[in-house]
């Protein structure tokens, strides 16, 4: 634990995702935290959720929600001009965010204050365009001249080290954690049918069509596929199921947390079939949730969390390979002993490695290292 509780931190983040709020609360208990949300609308664009200026779950935390104008966070520069012991931030998802990150970098350099960049990029397939090459050069400069890079996993660390040439000792892993609460009950998986669960948005990048193809070729008696979520691909996927006469597929649409817990508890396998479509999946918190509820998991190599979370509790398969996905599903669903072993391993990994205490401890270790180097 960091001894000096008065370290003043400017923490800039795009939006108030529900799984980040406990982390921010815990940080505010340890540090003098000035938390700034720069693009609050991102949560609506991605998850169709709304967050107002008053954020439930951040009571007692010193935070500011900046208004946007032309895609820029108004008031960010005036915030950065104050004195801090450390600044955390950095984003390049839009041209405006890239410019904001450059300003953040320049101002912290002028003030001679440490800057930590927190990102979830990994080496997914990118366009080989002039625009992309210029962006990579800018990002490489920012990362190599910042004080540290925070990433959630090994795939991300490898990208910043090998693709962006950031020294490995400057890259720190702080695991992604989800604020899952509920009654995980292993006994609820004991039923005659084998239940396969998908949870997520129904967009092309999630690869649900490949899951449907894999499921259609399964050699498992009394099996069903439950698809939880909604999105622009929903009707296309339903039509695909009908056209190919795929049996025992249920589309639930969006469900509340209580119903989602029922699905997680009763499922025998959770599959995340993401594909690389302009980008890979930076993390996928469904893995955290599925494992919390004792589920074996299968994910493709387009899922950022897969190498760190799937360790003897499931399989990682090649993206867009329905045959490999079928084989992996058959192995788990046709072997009750293996399924039970993987179920227990999933819960063990979550309980030991992906709690907020792990996240906070990683952040504290980073602060200590920056202090020692300065």
Locate 127 and state its tokens: 């366009």
Q: What is the pLDDT of residue 1?
A: 39
The predicted model scores a pTM of 0.93
User: What tens digit of pLDDT does each residue of 267-317 get?
Assistant: 999 999 999 998 999 999 999 999 999 999 999 999 999 999 999 999 999
The ranges assigned to domains in the chain are 8-177+355-373, 186-353
**Domains 8-177+355-373 and 186-353 fall in the same CATH topology:** yes
Name the nearest CA neighbour of 167 among 143, 197, 188, 185: 143
Quote the strand ranges of 170-322, DSSP E: 171-173, 194-199, 223-228, 249-253, 269-272, 297-300, 314-317
- Residues 16 and 66: their CA atoms lie apart, in Å, by 12
Q: What is the pLDDT of residue 45?
A: 55
Homologous superfamily of 186-353: Glycogen Phosphorylase B; (3.40.50.2000)
Tell me the C-alpha to C-alpha distance, in Å, between residue 231 and each of 220, 235, 252, 290, 302: 29, 9, 12, 21, 20
The order of strands in the sheet holding 223-228 is: 249-253, 223-228, 194-199, 269-272, 297-300, 314-317
Beta bridge partners of 133: none
Q: Calculate the average pLDDT of the chain.
A: 94
| Residues 27-54 as b or e (16 or more Cβ within 10 Å = b) | bbebbebbbbbbbbebbeeeeeeebeee
With a cut of 50, list the residues of the chain below it in pLDDT: 1-4
8-177+355-373: CATH topology is: Rossmann fold (3.40.50)
């Amino acid at each position: 634990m960091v001894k000096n509780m008065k370290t003043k931190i400017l923490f800039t983040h795009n939006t108030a995702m529900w799984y980040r709020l406990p982390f921010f609360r815990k940080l505010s208990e340890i540090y003098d935290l000035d938390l700034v949300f720069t693009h609050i609308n991102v949560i609506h664009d991605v998850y169709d959720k709304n967050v107002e200026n008053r954020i439930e779950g951040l009571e007692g935390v010193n935070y500011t929600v900046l208004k946007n104008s032309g895609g820029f966070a108004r008031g960010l520069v005036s915030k950065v001009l104050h004195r801090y012991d450390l600044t955390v931030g950095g984003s390049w998802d839009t041209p405006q965010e890239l410019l904001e990150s450059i300003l953040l970098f320049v101002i912290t350099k002028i003030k001679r204050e440490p800057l930590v960049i927190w990102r979830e990029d990994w080496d997914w397939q990118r366009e080989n365009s002039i625009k992309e090459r210029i962006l990579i050069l800018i990002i490489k400069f920012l990362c190599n001249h910042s004080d540290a890079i925070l990433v959630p996993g090994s795939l991300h660390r490898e990208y910043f080290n090998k693709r962006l040439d950031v020294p490995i000792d400057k890259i720190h892993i702080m695991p992604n954690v989800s604020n899952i609460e509920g009654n995980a009950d292993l006994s609820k998986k004991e039923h005659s049918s084998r239940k396969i669960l998908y949870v997520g948005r129904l967009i092309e990048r999630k690869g649900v069509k490949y899951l449907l193809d894999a499921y259609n070729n399964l050699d498992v008696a009394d099996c069903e596929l439950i698809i939880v979520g909604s999105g622009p691909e929903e009707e296309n996927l339903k039509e695909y199921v009908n056209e190919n006469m795929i049996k025992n597929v249920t589309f639930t649409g969006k469900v509340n947390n209580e119903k989602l817990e029922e699905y997680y508890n009763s499922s025998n396998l959770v599959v995340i079939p993401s594909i690389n479509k302009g980008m890979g999946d930076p993390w996928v918190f469904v893995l955290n949730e599925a494992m919390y509820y004792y589920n074996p998991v299968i994910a493709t190599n387009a899922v950022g969390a897969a190498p760190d979370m799937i360790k003897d509790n499931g399989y990682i398969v090649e993206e867009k390979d329905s045959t490999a996905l079928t084989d992996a599903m058959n192995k788990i669903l046709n072997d009750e002993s293996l399924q039970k072993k993987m179920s227990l391993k999933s819960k063990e990994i979550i309980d030991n490695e992906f709690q907020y205490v792990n996240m906070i401890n990683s952040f504290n270790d980073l602060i200590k290292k920056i202090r020692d180097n300065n």
